[in-house]
Structure formats: structure tokens, C-alpha cells
């Protein structure tokens, strides 16, 4: 992980505190791999995302496991489509984990102007892995503890198309993340692992 941390640190302004557990890999995908994934996503039926009764300004499709923010329940979802298996295998090999560790694949389409508000991911998930396609975005991090929040506590990271980022450890549990409005249509694929033992507590 040392080389990835060095790459990430170079993106921050000098003197910024680096959240342990955040890593960033530019050019993780080739242009051909990106095109393959974009073409594969074009065959997926994306639906407007509904969050707490409101329609968000983006479309999504979830596979593997689904988490309902309304009922706060994790349930077994649709199988992950085969065209995305090579990406999962590549990510798993890069991070030194098993393919079976990847429990969810989320596809998101962001129109121009779309944002992601400050949040932490759903509680059952442990490691969050994001892959950007077609467009760039400005990814932001800030402490979850409100007493530590302020303008100077926000870290802004330019996340480029074909790159990969990872949130785990403190960056996952003690920091929130968001994105600024995108200036071009962007696609993302988010892979998530489950906390140990979560599968054993579910009624599938």
C-alpha cells in the first residue's frame, strides 16, 4: 500500500492531514478497459435513485447485496453480471483479497451538475472501492466528528477517469466523503465488501 499512499499524498496540499485508509491509483484501467465497461453499462437498466423518499439526481443499478436506507436492512440482490467479473478480479488481485470478498457492485450515472452529499457508506459494508469512468470529479473528505469539521478540515482530491480509490479503516469509519457537481457526464462503479460475519446473520 505504500506506493498508493505516496500517489495519494501528492494530490493534497502540503500540510494537509492524510486520512489513514484512503488510497488512490490513477490510470488503474486502460482506455480499452474503460470502453468495455462503458459499453457493458449501456446494457444495464439504470433507475433513478430514491433516497429517503426523494429522487436523487443520478441513476443506479445494484447487484450482489442491497441496503435499504429506509428499513436499514441488507438483503440479497441480483447476481453481478458476468461482464463486470474481469474488473472485480483485477481489483481483487490489486488489493490482495479474494474475489468472494466483493459483495456488492453498484453502477451510478451522474448527469452534469450531479453531486454526492456528505455521508459515510451503509454500516454493513467494510471496504469501499470506487472506479471512475468517462468523466472526472472532485472527491472530498472531512472528519465525521462534527467538532473537527471546518473549511480547513476538508480535503479535495481530483479523481480522474479510469482511476481507482479505496476507503477502508479510519478513512471509512471516521471520515465522511462527498463530491462537487460534475461538469460532464460521469459513470462510476463502486465495489463493497461486507463486515466479517454479516453474511452469516442474513436470511437469504
CATH code for the domain in which residue 127 is found: 2.60.120.590
Question: Mapping DSSP to helix (H, G, I), strand (E, B) and coil, where does residue 124 land?
Answer: coil
pLDDT at site 51: 62
Low-confidence ranges of the chain (pLDDT < 50): 1-15, 203-204
Inside any domain, residue 151: yes
Taken in order 198, 177, 2, 91, the sign of the CA dihedral is positive
| Nearest-angstrom CA–CA distance, 145 and 166 | 21
Q: Specify whether the CB–CB gap between 189 and 106 falls below 8 A.
A: yes
Inside any domain, residue 202: no
pLDDT digits (tens, 9 = 90+) for 96-105: 999 999 999 9
Question: DSSP label at 100?
Answer: G
pLDDT at site 17: 56
Residues 6+ apart with CB under 8 A from 188: 107, 108, 110, 130, 131, 132, 133
pLDDT at site 10: 42
Main-chain phi, psi angles of 141, to 5 degrees: -130, 140
pLDDT at site 80: 97
| Nearest-angstrom CA–CA distance, 194 and 177 | 19
Inside any domain, residue 167: yes
Inside any domain, residue 201: no
Which grid cell is 67?
A: 441496503
Number of domains within the chain:
1
pLDDT at site 197: 73
Inside any domain, residue 204: no
**Global confidence as pTM:** 0.87
Per the DSSP assignment, residues forming a β-bridge with 153 are none
Amino acid at each position: 500500500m505504500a506506493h498508493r499512499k505516496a500517489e495519494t499524498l501528492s494530490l493534497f496540499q502540503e500540510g494537509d492531514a492524510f486520512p489513514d485508509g484512503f488510497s488512490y491509483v490513477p490510470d488503474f484501467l486502460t482506455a480499452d478497459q474503460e470502453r468495455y465497461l462503458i459499453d457493458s453499462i449501456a446494457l444495464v437498466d439504470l433507475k433513478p435513485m430514491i433516497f429517503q423518499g426523494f429522487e436523487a439526481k443520478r441513476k443506479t443499478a445494484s447487484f450482489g447485496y442491497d441496503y435499504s436506507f429506509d428499513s436499514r436492512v441488507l438483503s440479497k440482490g441480483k447476481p453481478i453480471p458476468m461482464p463486470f467479473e474481469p474488473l472485480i478480479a483485477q481489483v481483487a488481485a490489486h488489493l490482495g483479497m479474494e474475489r468472494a470478498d466483493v459483495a456488492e457492485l453498484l453502477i451510478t450515472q451522474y448527469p452534469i451538475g450531479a453531486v454526492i452529499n456528505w455521508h459515510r457508506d451503509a454500516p454493513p459494508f467494510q471496504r469501499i472501492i470506487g472506479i471512475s469512468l468517462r468523466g472526472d470529479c472532485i472527491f472530498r473528505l472531512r472528519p465525521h466528528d462534527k467538532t473537527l469539521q471546518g473549511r480547513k478540515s476538508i480535503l479535495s482530491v481530483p479523481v480522474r477517469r479510469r482511476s481507482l480509490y479505496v476507503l477502508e479503516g479510519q478513512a471509512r469509519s471516521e471520515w465522511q466523503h462527498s463530491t462537487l457537481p460534475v461538469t460532464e457526464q460521469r459513470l462510476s462503479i463502486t465495489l463493497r465488501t461486507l463486515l466479517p460475519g454479516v453474511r452469516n446473520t442474513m436470511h437469504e
